[in-house]
Amino acid sequence: MLAGTAFAQDLTLSPSTYVDAKTGIDFTNWGTPGENGTGAFNFGFVLPADALQKDATEYIGRLQCQSTNASMTGWCGIAHGGHMPSDLLLMAWPYKNNVYTSFRFVGDYFKPDLFGGETGTNGTSAAFPAPQLSVISTSVNATNYEVIYRCQNCWAWQQGSYNESVHTSLQPGDAESVFVLGWAQATKGPTNPACTGNGLNFGFHDAGYGQWGAPLSNATRTNYTTWTKLATQAPNPGASNDTAASCQAKAAPSAAPTAAARRAVEVNW
């Protein structure tokens, strides 16, 4: 992995705050300006007021990611829990002056499928209800796209026999509560961006990826409940039916033994 190549990894995400002018939500923000002017990425979040005492099941988030030109390129996302395999992934990409989103899941370093299968609920249970996203706002311009959203049931998930819970409350022995999160960003967008299901066709995150630890002590907000009422929009207006011919998935690439080989297989789709 060479610094400065298209496969830049582990670009440092620096902490800051970002206030959304429309809503007043003051996010705790993690961002990178990218390398060589490409790959700028920002993820912000806020938590319910009591999240340090009692595990939160949700958050309000903001993804702001870079497009390389006015035709709105790219995708970006977050791994709740930090790992690509087995964690709840959220992807976002610009499409028709909107920003589409999709929860994804994969057991290894291959292209992630839709979380919970075609219904988004397979493998979920009463203890691990399906994640749910509602939109507060989206915006796109020539250089970036942004989605502000409420993510419910996003800190504990189950897929098949696997389940995982991320704690926001202080755990015994820990000095402070910290999220381990992962981020990823690609310069090319999905080739069939209206298809939010299993057929969504997209490649490797060539514009940066990595893990980081985000302390939670400055992420709780007394206004949290009020802000949740702003999340009134359903995601992905006008998405295509996943059975449409344009949404049919390409055959999965054959398994390759190394991460580099897998990446190469996927990058060249």
Residues engaged in binding ligand HEM (CB under 6 A): 9, 77-79, 83-84, 89, 91, 104, 109-112, 182-184, 202-205, 209-211, 259, 262-263, 266
Cβ partners under 8 Å of residue 214, min gap 6: 15, 28, 30, 45, 178, 179, 181
Burial 40-56 (b: 16+ CB within 10 A, else e): bbbbbbbbbeebbeebb
Contact 200, 54 (CB under 8 A): no
What is the smallest separation between the CB atom of 177 and ligand HEM, expressed in angstroms?
20
Pick 9 or 228: Cβ nearer ligand HEM:
9
Query: What span, in angstroms and rounded, lies between the C-alpha atoms of 39 and 7?
Result: 11
Comparison of 204 and 227: residue with beta carbon closer to ligand HEM:
204
| C-beta closer to ligand HEM: residue 129 or 253 | 253
Smallest gap from residue 255 Cβ to ligand HEM (A): 12
Q: How far is the CB of 9 from ligand HEM (least distance, A)?
A: 6
Comparison of 31 and 77: residue with beta carbon closer to ligand HEM: 77
Closest distance between ligand HEM and the C-beta of residue 204, in Å?
Answer: 4
